[in-house]
Amino acid sequence: MDDVKEVDADTRQGLRILADSTKLKGTEGVARRLNKAAESGTEADYQQAETIFDSLPVDKRQTIKVTAETKAETIRLTNEKRKEAADNKPKPVEPTLDAKDELDALKEEMQQAIKG
């Protein structure tokens, strides 16, 4: 049985972005083919998607390209912000006393208040 060649995860994500951008520009058939290639991840589906996308008029491809690049940049920046937020997450404050110590301290304060 032949091994099926697959495209990498970044290419698959790029295909999804391109499919979304293509669908927004009124070319649903091409978008479906791009989505299929993204979902299957096979080199054969990728080649078919590339061929059908390349058959679009140059001006439509250029418009789709601008939309896809904008979306990809937005995703990249969002991922960076999420990573920064996760790296800079404040650490929880460690209590200086455990519960027993706190109760003992409170009990002592109350006894001193009663004595007066």
Length of the chain: 116
CA–CA distance, 59 with 48 (Å, rounded to integer): 21
Which residue bears the tokens 């998607």?
49
Please indicate, yes or no, whether the overall pTM of this predicted structure exceeds 0.75. Answer: no
DSSP letter for each residue of 47-99: HHHHHHHHTS-HHHHHHHHHHHHHHHHHHHHHHHHHHHHHHTPPPPPPPSS-H
What are the pLDDT tens digits along the chain (116 aa)? 457 799 999 999 999 999 999 998 888 999 999 999 999 999 999 999 999 999 999 999 999 999 999 999 999 999 999 998 888 877 777 666 577 777 888 888 888 888 86
